[in-house]
Amino acid sequence: MKPIIFTVYVAGASTNSRLALENLRKVCGKYFNGSSQIEIVDALAEPVRAFEAGVVATPTVVREWPEPRLVLVGNLTDEARLTAALGLNGKTP
């Protein structure tokens, strides 16, 4: 089974960027049991890559796989909203 693949666009070590990454890792650990992959892209260090991905705000989380591509913006602190956005409602970890 192919892992769920995310790219997280952050702005350096900002608080919101750190929170988004922590919250995504927590949900991935809880729901995907190690079958997820997270790539971190610092939009300050790689602005062209962020621009080409259509990132206009950070933190931005992009679910690359499975399709369809899904884009979430914010620090992802509301786990219920995050799981709903990922289509995990009603699934037990």
> Which CATH number fits the domain that encloses residue 13?
3.40.30.10
> Is the pTM above the cut of 0.85?
yes
d(CA 72, CA 59): 8
pLDDT for res 55:
95
Please compute the mean of the pLDDT values over residues 25-33 and round it to a whole number: 90
Question: Domain for residue 17, yes or no?
Answer: yes
Helices (H), the chain: 15-31, 47-52, 79-85
Q: Is the dihedral of CA 12, 77, 57, 67 positive or negative?
A: positive
Question: Domain for residue 63, yes or no?
Answer: yes
By residue range, what is the domain housing residue 57? 4-78
Evaluate if residue 91 carries a pLDDT over 60.
no
The model's pLDDT over 41-82, given as tens digits with 9 standing for 90+, comes to 999 999 999 999 999 999 999 999 999 999 999 988 988 888
Please compute the mean of the pLDDT values over residues 28-33 and round it to a whole number: 89
**CA neighbor of 70 nearest in space, from 81, 80, 61, 58:** 61
Record the tokens describing residue 55, joined without a space: 């990132």
pLDDT for res 90:
55
